[in-house]
Structures are given as structure tokens and as C-alpha cells.
Amino acid sequence: MQKSKYEEQSGILDGFNDLMATLAPKIDPAEFIALQEKLLEQVSDKSSYEAEKILKRMIQFYHSAEQPEKADKIVENNLQIENFCRQAVEKRIAKQQYEDAKRLIFNYLKKNPSNYHRYWNEYILDIAQKEKDVHTVWKTAFGFISSHFDKKYYTIYRATFSAEEWANELENLILHYEQKKETTYWGNFNNRLDFNTSIADVLVAEKASNRLLTYLEKYSDVELVEKYYTATAGEFPERTLSLLQKTLDAFAEKNMGRDKYEYIKGLLKKMEKIKGGKEIVNGMVVRYRTVYKNRRAMLEVLRGF
């Protein structure tokens, strides 16, 4: 695809103009600004990256010339550019001009419905928290955790409910995640499981150790158990060790190779740190040395236990 005349000119002039933005106050400011305005006229899409580059050079020039009000005016006159609109929103939030900030956000989203919304929703959430608008906080925070658990927004969402309300809402949230099918590929060994990490993460956040263990036992995958064992080992050391032993035994039986043996060794060391773990690990190592006596590399890796 052949470049347009403007794209060719822009590519050639970019480096020159960046240099001029720094030197212009000492050379010919008026000529520099006139050149940028001329270049901008040639850009048909005033929300494009090309337009933004030119405008940023002008903004840089005005800041260098200690004329911040002119730099601010460029931003305010070009809110069709996402970065400029975000700057304007942040400025208004800092000044507690929340209604005006929301107006800018909703106007931008109306004109750009397909754009990535996360930044804008973060602004909406921030404003709602400052205004103590509980309904908007609840709605926006849920939007952040609807697809996947996120601890930051989960905590904000949870705080919009009373303790009595949360007991019921917790079950609704878990049901919501259960209804969203999620296939997980675990760790270095690419194990495929129909396991929803969001449910496990919610149970960790709720310190629901017994329920989390029951959920892990349903899948019995060693890397899965390893990811979450620290959330259950303190309250249920024996049961956690039993699940780790069961899943690691199954892993050792099916997998060969030094990288797999190093993984086994690493997990055994983690198990030793759990209450009652040393005795369990000693028994496992003795058994592995007998059952897998023909796996020379495995015996080498486990040397030292």
C-alpha cells in the first residue's frame, strides 16, 4: 500500500519538528507554530495519531515558552483525542468538578462507543466514590469483576453491601462465575481444566478455606492445588497435605524428565513447611526412590532429602 503524500512528509519532518519544538523559543516561534498549523490542516482526521503528534509538539512548545494557558487551550479544543480528553477529565476531578468531568466522559464515550472503556470506567468509579454514589460504585465495580475476579474491584464491590446482604450476594456472585464457562491451562505443563479461577479467588478473599479445599479436591490437579494451598494450609494442614500428596503422586507417575523432577522437588520443599509436612515428605521420598528406582535423573534431583 502506497503512503500518502502527507505520511511521507510527516515521516521526514517528525524528527525535525521534535527538535524545533525544543529550539523554537530561541529561533522563530511564530514560524514554528505556523508550520505546525499548516501540517495539521493536511490531516483529515483530527482525532488521529498524526494530529495528536502535531498538537503535542505545539503543547510542548508553549510549555517551553512558559505559556501554559495556551497549551491548556490546545488540550481543551481537541477533546476528540483520547489522551487530551483524559487529561481534561483528570484536571476536573482534581478540582472536584465532578459533573463537568462526567459530561466529558459520557460525551467521549457517545462519540467513540467501540473504544476501550476501562480507563473511563475507572474515572466514573473514582468520581462515584468521591460523591458517595453507592449505586454507581456498585454497578461500575461489578463491571470490573463481571468476567474475571479482580481483588481491588472485588473489595470495592463488596463494600457496597451490608454484612447481612453480602451473605446472599456472595452466593449470587459465585453462581455468576459458575455460569461462565472457563477453560484454564495450568502452568508449565499445560494441563487443561474446566476450572474457574474466579471462584477460587473469591473463596480465598473470603477466607473460606474449607469450601476452597472442597473445590480443589473436585479437580485434583497438582499445579492448581499448589497455586492455592497457602490459603488452606494454616487452617487445614492435614487435609491440604493429603491433597498435595495425592496430586503430586499422580503427577510423578505420569511425568518424566528433569524439569518435571525439579518441579516435584520444589513442591516437596513447600510441603515440608506445612505443619506435619516433614514426616509426609520423608515417606513420599522413600517411596519414590523405590517405585522409580530406574529413573536415574529423578534420584539425582531428589538427593538431599
CA pair distance 209, 233, nearest whole angstrom: 9
Residues 22 and 104 in one domain: yes
Residues 120 and 22 in one domain: yes
Residues 19 and 125 in one domain: yes
- Say what the pLDDT of residue 117 is: 82
132-185 confidence digits (pLDDT tens)? 999 999 999 999 999 999 999 999 999 999 999 999 999 999 999 988 766 555
Signed CA dihedral, 90, 91, 95, 99: sign only: negative
149 belongs to a structural domain: no
- Say what the pLDDT of residue 138 is: 97
Q: Which residue reads 519532518 in cell numbers?
A: 13
Residues 106 and 208 in one domain: no
Q: Is there a contact between 57 and 21 (Cβ–Cβ < 8 Å)?
A: yes
Q: How many domains does the chain have?
A: 2
247-304 confidence digits (pLDDT tens)? 999 999 999 999 999 999 999 999 999 999 999 999 999 999 999 999 999 999 999 8
175 belongs to a structural domain: no
Q: Which residue segment(s) compose the domain that 93 sits in?
A: 5-131
Look at phi and psi of residue 268 and say left if phi exceeds 0, alpha if psi is from -120 to 50, else beta. alpha
Residues 114 and 219 in one domain: no
172 belongs to a structural domain: no
Residues 30 and 124 in one domain: yes
143 belongs to a structural domain: no
Residues 108 and 195 in one domain: no
Residues 231 and 296 in one domain: yes
Last residue of a domain, one of 67, 99, 131: 131
Q: Is there a contact between 93 and 128 (Cβ–Cβ < 8 Å)?
A: no
Last residue of a domain, one of 131, 160, 175: 131
CA pair distance 244, 126, nearest whole angstrom: 42
- Say what the pLDDT of residue 182 is: 60
- 192 has pLDDT over 90: no
92 belongs to a structural domain: yes
In the predicted model, what is the mean pLDDT of residues 88-92? 98
Distance from chain centroid for Cα 270: 27
Residues 223 and 297 in one domain: yes
Residues 41 and 120 in one domain: yes
Residues 294 and 208 in one domain: yes
168 belongs to a structural domain: no
- Say what the pLDDT of residue 6 is: 41
- 8 has pLDDT over 50: no
**Helical H segments across the chain, by residue range:** 5-23, 29-41, 49-64, 68-76, 82-94, 98-111, 118-131, 134-145, 151-158, 163-178, 197-205, 209-219, 222-228, 237-254, 258-272, 277-291, 296-301
Residues 19 and 116 in one domain: yes
- Say what the pLDDT of residue 77 is: 97
Residues 197, 201, 205: CA angle, nearest 5 degrees:
175
- 29 has pLDDT over 90: no
